[in-house]
Amino acid sequence: MSTLKKNTIDIVTLGCSKNLVDSEQLITQLRANGYEVTHDAEKLEGDIVVINTCGFIGDAKEESINMILECCQAKEEGQLSKVFVMGCLSERYLKELGEEIPQVDKFYGKFNWKELISDLGKVYHEELKHDRQITTPSHYAYLKISEGCNRHCSYCAIPIITGKHQSRPMEDILEEVRMLVAKGVKEFQVIAQELTYYGVDLYQKQMLPELIEKISDIPGVEWIRLHYAYPAHFPEDLLRVMRERDNVCKYLDIALQHISDPVLEKMRRHVTAEQTYRLIEKMRAEVPGIHLRTTLMVGHPGEGEKEFAELLDFVRWAKFDRMGAFAYSEEEGTYSAEHYEDDIPQEVKERRLDELMALQQEISEELSQKKVGQELKVILDRIEGDYYIGRTEFDSPEVDPEVLIPLSEGDLQIGNFYQVKITDSDAFDLYATIV
């Protein structure tokens, strides 16, 4: 860190892909103002660092704080001239952080990062507001269609941090897609805190199906993948769009959290076990071959052994293609923290989590094994060791299984699509050869 370059800014992004989109917009603005910018570099190169923080759960907060303290230390040692902090953590704890860590030059929230540009004595370029410097491989990008959330699940601090649901106008989103396609993006990961609410605030009805149709009509859009749907009031017309449009991946990330009615009620999820079972049946009937990813939670107040057993039975029945899970952690200011006692011992939470994930691993292995012998379309993301690493339409970047194709299969291009035949599978990945 000793040879720092003037006029170079390092941006460090922590947390989710929604934060990444904000960082990408900021990079574009800084470059338009003549700065050199690095993103998530192995080692900081510039004299200014901007940390885009996450404030979601304990571990993520801790990671953000440690990063801030590390950069402040470097500043004290004369290795950095300025440290700026933005994102969810500072949105939530702006005042407290300012008092606790005065070495930071300025804290911004999640939405006012444009002020950073003027604080550097530069101008915000309005004409570039939809423009973003893609930090992912150039053939895919995240597409954020809204901010905030109107759901008030008991355990979740996101609405406290990000406020009410705000949909982006449809035209803005479509303009961004056209601009990204012109840059070579072929695959769009559509993200929001809660996709299914899209449009209710702007157009007084759920507009997600219509938005996805319009994106799918744009020439050059080859794959659209949907992240973070909510089960209550699910817009069922979306299933028709998925079935009819070849470029809408048969993939849905829908966080269900639990299945036991008493737990769902305590979680304030506004959905019942019966409705959840029916919804999954409907999805699979209307979109043959759909792959469902879900997230579940163990150890929420009110989850006894009986409720946990229900959850295991549900996972055995549903056979989710992809599943993540985490143990409940009490977040200050949430409904849970104020109304329930966090009375399940940590070791019980960990045991349940391990049991749930072990079950899911068996299911995942079984489902992967069934793909052996199938021909599938993959997109190539990168080269690693002796393999090209690709994904099918059923796999989201960074979280889902990958397809490994030996380099000996020929001179293949990163970012291109290929037909492959699945030859083998293991617990996490598939192996394939070019057809």
Asked if 157 and 92 count as a contact pair (C-beta separation under 8 A), the reply is: yes
Q: How does the average pLDDT of the chain come out, rounded? A: 95
Q: pLDDT (tens digit, 9 = 90+) per residue, 166-189?
A: 999 999 999 999 999 999 999 999
Mean pLDDT of 62-80: 94
Write the CA distances from 245 to 62, 238, 267, 288, integer angstroms.
42, 11, 35, 13
Structure tokens at 12: 């460090």
pTM listed for this prediction: 0.92
Q: Does domain 140-364 match CATH 1.10.3720.10?
A: no
In contact, 379 and 139? CB cutoff 8 Å:
yes
**Neighbour tally for 26: CB within 10 Å:** 24
Say if residue 238's pLDDT is above 50: yes
Asked if residue 156 has pLDDT above 80, the reply is yes
Model confidence pLDDT, tens digit, residues 203-230 = 999 999 999 999 999 999 999 999 999 9
CA 5/CA 49 separation, integer angstroms: 12
- Provide the pairing of β-strand 36-39 with 5-13: parallel
* Distance between CA atoms of residues 236 and 282, nearest Å: 9
pLDDT band of 5, cuts 50, 70, 90: confident
Say whether domain 375-434 belongs to CATH 1.20.120.420. Answer: no
| pLDDT at residue 4, as a whole number | 62
The predicted pLDDT at position 414 comes to 98
pLDDT tens-digit series, residues 11-51 = 999 988 999 999 999 999 999 999 999 999 988 889 999 99
The mean pLDDT value for 101-108 works out to 96
Residue 16's pLDDT is 87
CA distance 287 to 348: 38
Condensed to tens digits (0 to 9), the pLDDT of residues 271-312 reads: 999 999 999 999 999 999 999 999 999 999 999 999 999 999
Confidence category of residue 6, pLDDT binned at 50, 70, 90: confident
What's the pLDDT score for residue 427? 79
> Can you give 288-352 as a three-state secondary structure string?
CCCEEEEEEEECCCCCCHHHHHHHHHHHHHHCCCEEEEEECCCCCCCHHHHHCCCCCCHHHHHHH
C-alpha torsion sign, points 397, 399, 401, 404: positive
Average pLDDT over residues 317-346: 96
> Any idea what DSSP says for residue 378?
E
Mean pLDDT of 239-265: 98
pLDDT of 3 reads 56
Region 5-128: CATH code? 3.40.50.12160
Inform me whether the pLDDT recorded for 151 exceeds 80. Answer: yes
pLDDT given at position 45: 86
Q: Where are the domains of the chain?
A: 5-128, 140-364, 375-434
Average pLDDT over residues 304-331: 97
Question: pLDDT class for 191, splitting at 50, 70, 90?
Answer: very high
* Position 239 pLDDT exceeds 60: yes
Indicate if the pLDDT at residue 378 is higher than 60: yes
Question: pLDDT of 108-139, one tens digit each?
Answer: 998 899 999 999 999 999 999 889 999 999 99
